[in-house]
Amino acid sequence: MPAEFAVELRDVVKQFVTPEGANLAAVDHVTMQIRNGEFFSMLGSSGCGKTTSLRMIAGFEWPDEGEVIIEGKPMGHTPPYQRNVNMVFQNYALFQHMTVFENVAFGLEMQRAGRKEIITRVGRSLDMVQLKGLDRRRPRQLSGGQQQRVALARALVNLPAVLLLDEPLGALDLKLRKEMQLELKALQQQLGITFIYVTHDQEEALTMSDRIAVMSLGKVRQMGTPQEIYERPSSRFVAEFIGESNFIDGRMVQISKEAAQVHVPALNMELSATPISGDLVAGEDVIVSIRPEKVQITNSINEMPNHMEGTVEKTVYIGSDTHLIIHTGSQNLKVWEQNRVSRIDPHAFYSSGQKIQLVILPENALIMKRE
Amino acid sequence: MLQKLRENRSSQGTLLALPTTFWMVALLVLPLLLTTVISFGKRSPDGEVIYTFTLNNYIRLAGFDPNCPPADGTCFNPLYLQILGRSLSLAFNTTVLVILMAYPLAYFIARSHPRKRNTYLFLVLIPLWTNFVIRVYAWMMLLRKEGVINNLLGLLAGWIGYDFKPLEMLYTQGAVLVGMVYEFLPFMILPIFTSLEKIDNSLYEAAADLGANPIRTFRRVTLPLSLPGVVAGTILVFIPVMGTFIVSDILGGRQVILVGNLIQRQFLDARDPTFGSAASLILMIMTLVVTYFYTRKFGFGEEIVAA
């Protein structure tokens, strides 16, 4: 019976000694359960512990505390070459003294596969990453994107239970990166292999992942689907790290299970909003987080909840969207409007000083604990 | 003039190469030509060179006496061939031993903490601060009949009541081999270290990740990637060992004569520069041939160095 999870980290701690001699927990009591066949991302800025976590799964590092479990088996001090996982390295780590074919064949040779099997499987996996016909080249004779594909083929040819990817697209240019994102996702779905993907690029994580763990300072801050992470960030940190948000201080007036009223002095009003954490109480100081694209600009002045009037301070045209700064009460709000109609005539849009009406749906105003 | 120079890249290159070219022509190409010419000459009874064309010196090297009737086989004397063979095998043995000793040390230094690395390299280089000849003499002190090693062994034997006769270590091939290995070890350690140090740690990790245990990682990744260092070290060791005469002179005495000693004696003691020149050229050709086949098999490692 296959294990329930492809990889589990149980309360894992990894400490490093800083050059000053202090102990630093790169990974600080991290627990994660990564399901079979899942595209799982660890997202965070450098030093958040994501790469160290990945390296502990690969076996390059061993946890000081806690346990790494792969396919139900506790790994303990199992060396990398005895783990059923493969890694795509950030710098690709291709063997320069071998051809593309030899690079991809390496893992199969280590498993002592037969010559015939090696030729078929290497061929198939080079096809898969669209490198047909380049098998006799040396890695150095390939472009960055092609080298990336060799690294991918070299790992996937072994059909590991889990594929670990350490910022594999970091060195590619934006366009190629977007292409590869879709390709990686398609490949993962086609093969059904569990992917664990480490990145600092939030868009990359949102595009590809089934689930994301947002990490900071060695801890998991939030784990969930891209929608959960973006639409229901559990803390100001997550809301700030993924996408942008307006943060407004307020005080809880009244709270029930789904709805709550928050008094917001800066807007001089009471907002109907959605509580994120369950343990908020009336009278508590809180923050309200509102995504800029969720603020609606309306023409009708009617009795909708969370309706307010504001003055346009500044507009920035960025092609697909227009970013506005709107002054309301004593607060500046970031508001993003999609350019659904042509903005070729600048006067057709908002101009500074113009009065406009804003509406924020209660489900888009999120109440968080003040940190 | 300066303006023109600034615009013309190829004449800039010529100008930059000029001093070295002059140096090489004056001190390498011309002397080499001269050596070649002399090697075909004859020695006058008072040790002067008579410029002529004769193959006598080469015939002598091959072991035949030019004054002997060719049909008479008794004139064959393989002395010089033996010297050449001895030089070749000693250079080969030295190189192999030096590789075997240098590689583990270079590996250890390359994988040590960057802060300690410089200390280790410094320690490797310290012997080079002492004169080459003095270091060889130091080995004499160690290997002599009344030398340090024999004295220590004698002391040890005295304790356990064993009847000890001092070992004859000096003036043997072994002594020359030990001296050569000692002298040339740093020239193998440094290039191997350099090529090992260049190997990115992620390559070891990639190999392990793909299922290679440490032994297979070494065979498939570490060794091939450090081969350029071994090749460079071999060239730095093999060629000088082929030609040097100081080590064999001091530690080998009259017992171990190498091509280097032969050449030196022809120019100084025997005062026969024509024969000395012929031996020099043969030495050079032998070295070139060995190096050629060696690098053709292993390359200069430029492919990997370029990466």
The DSSP line for chain B is -HHHHHH-HHHHHHHHHHHHHHHHIIIIIHHHHHHHHHHTSEE-TTSPEE-----HHHHHHTT--TTS-TT-GGG--THHHHHHHHHHHHHHHHHHHHHHHHHHHHHHHHHS-HHHHHHHHHHHHGGGGS-HHHHHHHHHHHHSTTSHHHHHHHHHHHHTT--------TTSHHHHHHHHHHHHHHHHHHHHHHHHHTS-HHHHHHHHHTT--HHHHIIIIIHHHHHHHHHHHHHHHHHHHHH--HHIIIIITTT---HHHHHHHHHTTS--HHHHHHHHHHHHHHHHHHHHHHHHHH--SHHHHT-
User: Cα separation of B146 and B152, whole Å?
Assistant: 10
- Does position B72 have pLDDT exceeding 70, yes or no? no
Looking at the structure, do residues A210 and A66 belong to the same domain, yes or no?
Answer: yes
User: Cα separation of B32 and A104, whole Å?
Assistant: 51
Q: What is the pLDDT of residue B26?
A: 93
Q: Sorting pLDDT into bands at 50, 70 and 90, what band is A21?
A: confident
Q: Which residue has the higher pLDDT, B268 or A104?
A: A104
Looking at the structure, do residues A279 and A338 belong to the same domain, yes or no?
Answer: yes
Point out the residue among A60, A81, A94 whose CB comes nearest to the CB of B212. Answer: A81
HEC states along B271-297?
CCHHHHHHHHHHHHHHHHHHHHHHHHH
Q: Which residue has the higher pLDDT, B164 or A27?
A: A27
Q: How far is B221 from chain A (nearest CA, A)?
A: 7
Residues of B in contact with A91 (CB under 8 A): 200, 202
Q: What is this structure's pTM? A: 0.83
Please check whether residue B283 lies inside any domain of the structure.
Answer: yes
Q: Sorting pLDDT into bands at 50, 70 and 90, what band is A172?
A: confident
Tally of domains within chain A: 2
Q: Hey, of A95, A121, A163, which one would you mutate to test binding to chain B, going by the most B CBs within 10 A of its CB?
A: A95
User: Cα separation of B279 and A240, whole Å?
Assistant: 81
Q: Hey, of B209, B218, B305, which one would you mutate to test binding to chain A, going by the most A CBs within 10 A of its CB?
A: B209
- What are the tokens at A290? 């509102």
Task: Output the average pLDDT for chain A.
Answer: 92
Q: Sorting pLDDT into bands at 50, 70 and 90, what band is B69?
A: low
What does the pLDDT average to over B242-247? 90
Q: Which one, of A193, A205, A211, lies nearest residue A86 by Cα?
A: A193
Cα B239 to Cα A355, B190, B257, B288, distances in angstroms:
88, 17, 17, 9
Please check whether residue B113 lies inside any domain of the structure.
Answer: yes
Q: Which residue has the higher pLDDT, B254 or B57?
A: B57
**B280: domain range?**
80-305
Q: What are phi and psi of A292, to 5 degrees?
A: -60, -35
Q: Sorting pLDDT into bands at 50, 70 and 90, what band is B74?
A: low
Point out the residue among B213, B216, B304 whose CB comes nearest to the CB of A97. Answer: B304
Q: What is the pLDDT of residue B32?
A: 94
* Residue range A124-151, pLDDT digits in tens: 999 999 998 999 999 999 999 999 999 9
Element (H, E) at A121: helix A115-128
Looking at the structure, do residues A317 and A184 belong to the same domain, yes or no?
Answer: no
Beta bridge mates, A302 = none
What does the pLDDT average to over A2-13? 90
What's the order of all strands across the beta sheet hosting A295-298? A295-298, A355-360, A307-317, A321-328, A331-338
Q: Pairing mode, if any, of strands A285-290 and A365-369? A: antiparallel
Please check whether residue B74 lies inside any domain of the structure.
Answer: no
Among A188, A218, A237, identify where a domain stops: A237
* Residue range B75-93, pLDDT digits in tens: 788 889 999 999 999 999 9
Tally of domains within chain B: 1
Looking at the structure, do residues A219 and A257 belong to the same domain, yes or no?
Answer: no
Looking at the structure, do residues A152 and A9 belong to the same domain, yes or no?
Answer: yes
User: Cα separation of A166 and A156, whole Å?
Assistant: 14
Q: Sorting pLDDT into bands at 50, 70 and 90, what band is B162?
A: confident
- Please enumerate in sequence order all residues whose Cβ is within 8 A of that of A332, keeping only pairs 6 or more positions apart, or say none: A313, A325, A326
Q: What is the pLDDT of residue B31?
A: 94
CATH of the domain at A103: 3.40.50.300
Q: What is the pLDDT of residue A281?
A: 86
Q: What are phi and psi of A248, to 5 degrees?
A: -125, 130
The interface predicted TM-score of the complex, written ipTM, equals 0.87
Q: Which string of b and e fits B132-145 if b means at least 16 CB within 10 Å?
A: eeebbeebbebbbe
Q: What is the pLDDT of residue A105?
A: 97
- Does position A284 have pLDDT exceeding 70, yes or no? yes
Q: Sorting pLDDT into bands at 50, 70 and 90, what band is B48?
A: confident
Looking at the structure, do residues A113 and A257 belong to the same domain, yes or no?
Answer: no
Please check whether residue B19 lies inside any domain of the structure.
Answer: no
CB atoms within 10 A of CB A345: 7
Q: What is the pLDDT of residue B307?
A: 38
Q: Which one, of A84, A65, A78, lies nearest residue A14 by Cα?
A: A65
User: Cα separation of B216 and B223, whole Å?
Assistant: 10
Looking at the structure, do residues A11 and A147 belong to the same domain, yes or no?
Answer: yes
Looking at the structure, do residues A354 and A217 belong to the same domain, yes or no?
Answer: no
What does the pLDDT average to over B243-268? 90
Q: What is the pLDDT of residue B126?
A: 92
Q: What is the pLDDT of residue A300?
A: 74
Q: Which one, of A4, A30, A26, lies nearest residue A15 by Cα?
A: A26
Please check whether residue B35 lies inside any domain of the structure.
Answer: no
Q: Sorting pLDDT into bands at 50, 70 and 90, what band is A121?
A: very high
Among A237, A252, A279, identify where a domain stops: A237
Q: Which residue has the higher pLDDT, A268 or B95?
A: B95
Among A222, A237, A252, identify where a domain stops: A237
Q: Which amino acid is at A144?
A: G
Q: Are A89 and B208 within 8 A, CB to CB?
A: no
Q: Which residue has the higher pLDDT, B191 or A303?
A: B191
Q: Which one, of B183, B188, B290, lies nearest residue B239 by Cα?
A: B290
Q: What is the pLDDT of residue A2?
A: 63
CATH of the domain at B117: 1.10.3720.10
Q: What is the pLDDT of residue A350?
A: 82
Q: Hey, of A99, A106, A112, A147, which one would you mutate to test binding to chain B, going by the most B CBs within 10 A of its CB?
A: A106
What does the pLDDT average to over B87-110? 96
Residues of A in contact with B220 (CB under 8 A): 106
**A270: domain range?**
244-369
Looking at the structure, do residues A138 and A231 belong to the same domain, yes or no?
Answer: yes
Q: What is the pLDDT of residue B306?
A: 40
Residue percentage of chain A with pLDDT more than 70: 98
Q: Which residue has the higher pLDDT, A345 or A272?
A: A272
Please check whether residue B86 lies inside any domain of the structure.
Answer: yes
